[in-house]
A and B are shown apart, each in its own frame.
Chain A
Amino acid sequence: MRTKKTLCLVITAILFLCIGATALTGCNTPLTAREAYDELMAALDLSVSGDMYGPAYDPETSATNGYIFYYKESVRTDSMIVNTNVNVHCDQDAAYNLHVDEDLMVDLYQETWSISSVTGGTGTKIGDFGFIVGPYPDADSAEERLFYTERPSDGVSATAPEYTDVTLYDDMTAEDFIASDFFRGYSLSSRLEELRNMPFEAFVFDEEVNGDYGANRQINLVKLTFGVTDEYIADYAERTGERSMFEGCTYAEIELTFGRVSNIYVYRTENLGGGFFNLPQEMYSLYISYLGPNISFPNAGGYTADPALLDRTDLAFSRATF
């Protein structure tokens, strides 16, 4: 009797695991091409609705006050990688709720690496620049200002006598900085603009064209894997005079979570060599979260006076002009 009970338990446990696995497999629901496109467009609208440069931004109703987003972008070409991080966010309280009108801060940083080929594993840093804009740490002056520090990029040590670092701007608030044309080029809307304007015909979701293509929903995640038509790429170049982000791609992947765009990857697979670990090469990636990490400010003395702070990659460097 007891042995039977034990046996029952073992069988129940195994059954539970099988049912669990089956149930989870059922959580993957395939989407049609039209459904996938509609989901994408809706997600794009929702994603940029909080950005002041977005088409549907309404300062009266927006919960984000037009500022809050955080993205990391990486663009890889045959000779270069450009990584961009933009973190625009406000303060959080002890229960980590947003306080959109207080302590607005912006952290923008871009670095460029030179690589020997598109599959080149490592590279050399050839340039970077960045900004931290936020409340001035000195308690006497609570104004929010822009700090932009310039540093020679020839590898001179921060303690060397010929070392110079110059504060170029000191009277710009974070709001002013965000409103500048320079920043407009780094807004979330600018990153999603091409996708927002893509017609349904530009997407290829058909599995028969490529086995990887398709779209499915997995609880809160919608994953779209698609190709882009050559006609669209040619048309885009003709229309805008610029290269499309999908040019040369084998396929692209977009992940939508909680109805917003969270990750975009554009891959290239041909002519990249073989090998056990050879995954598709990412030509472009964009990771978006709609609230970023707190930006730490030094306790006192600003940024320019403390050379040690220049080792921080998120501080303002180099030769930006705007």
Chain B
Amino acid sequence: MASTLKRKINEGLTQVKNTASFIVTDVTSHWSKPGKGNFVSYKEILNYSIGGMGQNMLIYLLGFMALGVTNTLFASTIGIRPMHLQNMLTVQTILNIVFQIIRGKIVDNTNTRRGRFRPYLAIMGAPLAIVSIIFIFLPFESMSYSDKYTAVFVFAIAISIGQPLYQTAYSNLGSVISPSTAERSKVLAISSLLSSFAPTIYQLFVPIFSNLTGGFTDIRTYKYIVVPIGILGVFLSFFAFFGCKERIVSSKHFVKKVSIIGGCVAVWRNKYWWLRTISTWFNFLEGAYLVLFGWIYIYGTQDMNAYGILQTVLSIASGLSMFATPFFLKWLGNKGILLFHNILNIVFISCMLACYEIPLLYFLFLWINTFINQLQLVYNPVLNAEVKDSIQWQSGKRVDYMLEVAALIGTPVTILSGYFLPFIYESYGLTVNYDVLYDPSVRNSLFYMLCALSILGAALNLAPYFLYNLSREKHSMIVLALKYRAANTDYRTGDLTPHQVKDLVESYNYMVERRDAVQPDIKEKKQEMKAAKAVYKSAKNEYEALYERIEKDTPRGEEVVKTQELLDLEEIYHRQKQAYRDAHFAYKDARKLKRDKEAIEEFIVPELEKWETPKMQVRLALAQAITAVDKKDVVATDVDFSAVALPDLTDWTAKLAARKYAKRQAALIRRGKIEAPAQTENVPADAIDADILAWADKKADRQRRSLQALIKRTALRYRIMQKLSKLFFRNGLEHDYEEAYKRELEVQCFTKEEKRAQNKRIRAAQFKYNRFASAYKLYIECEQVILDYNDRNNFFGHILGMYEDSVAEAARIDREEEEKARAEKAAKDAEIAAIKLERRIRKDAKKDAKAHGATFDEAYLEQFKTDHAADYEEPTTAVDEIADAEPKDSQAADQ
């Protein structure tokens, strides 16, 4: 036993040593030149990381220039009223909408020798720091409140205009530092690890040093501690500017832009987006407790050393949380993690409320709550991506950046809710003089109220998520529906890959299998599981009781001898355990099957039956009527929309009624009120309840009205299209503007002049295309409807039959790629082995020269190599090993 442990430890140590040696060799050998297949050297990664530290440090200084009632510089030190700060923040929020657009335009049109993002790291850092420094060194002692107010407003707005340019430049640089996704992730992982040293250090030492300057309520802390950090940050961020490169790869595919209004409407129609957005509207309330930690140490204990240390400890919670999130997400599912996070928020903020007078206990709960809160850093992007897929399924539009724009709908709510906390501050005596917080009677009353409001906020934050039901099963069905759509189009364009076919057909088969599977009774399965558990427990107890009896009778030091009876019981125990596991799995699978069936019903069935719906039939008829007119003749030709007939809704209504009836029957069966009917499909109309029939008729009426409105709207849009095309294209359409724009985008340039000229041409072509796209929007949409309709049978007519060939082709491609990757890895290993050997020879040659009293130089080294060639024979390289192993692997892959 001990020897095994020792062997394992030794093996582990060797592995660690080898890994460390590999890392050191890899770093030193690719310090200034990237390895094979890579683009970024380690020197560049270090430069990027140091730049990150710098960015972090300057942002720390700029953070004190951000408007908000919790800002210790503006509020506690300078003495601006919370309500006035909130007023300024409102103005800034409104102005920011304009500045956001301007900034977007500036960045989109930046194309310098130094790249697109790097220039902002260089040119924005120093001005931002200078503006902040000027502000901090203003003579506030002799300034009136009016002057202070003006100064805060002007400087804070100035900073808020420029700061995003600087802040996003660094993260954008990270996204274009390498064209390889894998390498980019590696660079970002290393750099975030290194650059996080900066905040760890300053968060620890700033509070400690602030003891010498009067703490965070004294302007000297900002003058003599925070400002130097910011200045150092400006210098460090130049490392990223000078030491990194942007490696942008232009997309070969032309992507049609989604219009702002169209994108926003698509987002606003999505229920999941609304639930998540509404939940965030209450963040202002939930976050009320966040200021308390700082206030406890600044005004309460006034112990800046402890504050610094605890802040550092607090930052560990975020890191740990990021590691833990994937496990929580897998364990709890989407809705589960949302509920888990928000319920625990309520619990831990309640704990904080109970113990805010005991700083360390308060900190403990704050730490746990921070850990819980930071889960969202990882799960939010995951859930957002799912919501985006859901929006795409619903609207057919891919919205990536539009989510943020759509969220502007909440701006009035954000502005109004922003006034709530300042109101509470003022009501508790915190008007202009933050020094009142030194008084425990004032401080504690406010703390109590803020904690209570945070609990209320967390509860309100939680409420929408009870309606959030975008489960993993639903998301996979959404993805399947999207794949189905994409495959239909790709088949037409010839872009369909064997992997795509394999993946889609397998997903489809799984869906069919789940759809056709018989739904077992979940209650029954639960009962079975409980019964199996009871049997298993009893077998376990019996076995353990007998084992203990025998163990008791066995003399000390001797092994327990298992009797036949014990062995029999053991066998029963294991059998029952397995039976319980199976029953548990069967219960879980029955539940999952139910969710799968619901998801299929919600997303796949509508997708497959899309063209049978009255709405799509009318849209198709309209599209056919419009595209019957040539694009060039649109201005002169009117379309008779009254000829577009409404489809017969009788079948649709009957189907609707039958579905509703089936649902009602299922609910009654579930409640045990009726037994399962013999006939569940094609129920005759006279068997359906009258109220359901009436409901279906009402729905049909509504549908009819909606279709009439669609025809009217299209007629109006057609007239607008005629007017716009007359306005924009007086001489008619000259050529295909989309093709022309695509052609310009694909032109390659080699010199600066060429690039400049080409950019001009692209802009001109883009302008024309945008005009065309806005005038002929309806026509383009109609063309798309026709294309989609024509593609509707590609999957069932062609793609399904391609499965066998695609599987074989995909396996061949995979094998080739694996071989390529193996060869690359082997080449890298061989390169490192050669470097190591060279170093060893050099070291030995140096020793040899020293032993013989000779001077070591290159000539001596060469001679040494020649003399000792036999001693340093090339070891069997990894390439050879791989080559040996290859046939086996290939066979395995074939199998």
Binding site for B on A (CB under 8 A): 2-3, 5-6, 9-10, 13-14, 16-17, 20-21, 24, 27, 70, 72, 76, 81, 83, 92, 94-98, 111, 113, 115, 119, 121-123, 125, 218-221, 255, 257-258, 262-263, 277-282, 285, 287-294, 296, 314
Contact = CB atoms under 8 A, between A and B. Distances in A.
A83 B428 contact: no
B301 A96 contact: yes
Contacts of A125: 141-142
A258 B441 contact: yes
B398 interface: no
Contacts of B217: 293
Contacts of B432: 263, 287
Given A95-B358, A221-B426, 9 more contacts: A6-B275, A13-B460, A94-B301, A121-B144, A277-B153, A288-B433, A289-B436, A294-B302, A314-B214
B145 A282 contact: yes
B142 A123 contact: yes
Contacts of A314: 214
Interface string B814-835: 0000000000000000000000
Contacts of A221: 426-429, 431
B790 interface: no
A219 B430 CA distance: 12
Nearest to A69: B439
Nearest to A112: B142
B439 A10 contact: no
B211 interface: yes
B103 interface: no
Contacts of A21: 416
B300 interface: yes
Contacts of B142: 81, 113, 115, 121-123, 125
Interface in B497-553: none
A137 to B, nearest CB: 15
Contacts of B445: 220, 258
B139 A262 contact: no
B433 A6 contact: no
B383 to A, nearest CB: 17
Contacts of A94: 301
Contact of A6 (B150, B426, B467): B467
B435 interface: yes
Contacts of A123: 139, 142
Interface in B285-333: 299-302
Interface of B: 79, 138-139, 141-147, 149-150, 153, 211, 214-215, 217, 271, 274-275, 278, 281, 299-302, 357-358, 413, 416-417, 420, 423, 426-429, 431-433, 435-442, 445, 460, 463-464, 467
A289 B442 contact: yes
A287 B434 CA distance: 10
Contacts of A98: 440
A262 B436 CA distance: 8
Contacts of A17: 281, 413, 416-417
A313 B144 CA distance: 20
A116 to B, nearest CB: 11
B141 A287 contact: no
Contact of B440 (A27, A97, A119, A278): A97
B364 to A, nearest CB: 16
A42 to B, nearest CB: 16
| Max count, chain B CB within 10 A of own CB: residue among A97, A281, A291 | A291
Contact of A9 (B278, B300, B420): B278
A16 B413 CA distance: 11
Given A218-B427, A221-B431, A291 B141 contact: no
A289 B438 contact: yes
B413 A218 contact: no
Nearest to A221: B427
The 3 closest A-B pairs by CB, nearest first: A257-B429, A219-B427, A287-B433
Contacts of B146: 277-282
Given A257-B429, A277-B150, A96 B440 contact: yes
B215 A263 contact: no
Given A221-B427, A257-B428, A291 B439 contact: yes
Nearest to B219: A313
Contacts of B358: 95
Given A111-B141, A262-B433, A220 B427 contact: yes
A286 B437 CA distance: 16
B215 A293 contact: yes
Contacts of A121: 142-144, 147
Given A6-B275, A16-B460, A257-B436, A263 B144 contact: no
A221 B423 CA distance: 10
A263 B271 contact: no
A233 B539 CA distance: 97
B806 to A, nearest CB: 38
B423 A24 contact: yes
| Max count, chain A CB within 10 A of own CB: residue among B143, B417, B427, B433 | B433
A296 B211 contact: yes
27 contacts: A6-B274, A9-B463, A9-B464, A13-B464, A72-B433, A83-B141, A95-B357, A96-B301, A119-B144, A122-B139, A123-B139, A218-B427, A219-B428, A221-B427, A221-B428, A221-B431, A257-B428, A262-B433, A282-B144, A285-B145, A287-B435, A289-B439, A291-B439, A292-B435, A293-B215, A293-B299, A293-B438
Contacts of B460: 13, 16
| Max count, chain A CB within 10 A of own CB: residue among B217, B417, B426 | B426
B469 to A, nearest CB: 8
Nearest to B212: A296
B149 to A, nearest CB: 6
A10 B438 contact: no
A282 B143 CA distance: 10
A123 to B, nearest CB: 4
Contacts of A72: 433, 435
Given A96-B440, A258-B445, A20 B429 contact: no
Contacts of B278: 9-10, 13
Nearest to A283: B144
Contacts of B429: 220-221, 255, 257-258, 262
Contacts of A285: 145
Contacts of A280: 146
Contacts of B427: 27, 218-221
Nearest to B438: A291
Nearest to B440: A96
B278 to A, nearest CB: 5
A125 B432 CA distance: 24
A263 B433 contact: yes
B101 to A, nearest CB: 24
Contacts of B275: 6, 9
A296 B281 CA distance: 43
A10 B438 CA distance: 41
A3 B469 CA distance: 12
Given A81-B142, A122-B143, A293 B357 contact: no
Nearest to B429: A257
A282 B431 CA distance: 16
Contacts of A3: 271
A24 B441 CA distance: 23
Contacts of B299: 293
A113 B144 CA distance: 12
A6 B438 CA distance: 46
A221 B417 CA distance: 21
Contacts of B281: 13, 17
A279 B433 CA distance: 18
Nearest to B138: A122
A263 B439 contact: no
Contacts of A96: 300-301, 440
A290 B146 CA distance: 26
A27 B424 CA distance: 10
A221 B426 CA distance: 7
Contacts of B417: 17
B149 A5 contact: no
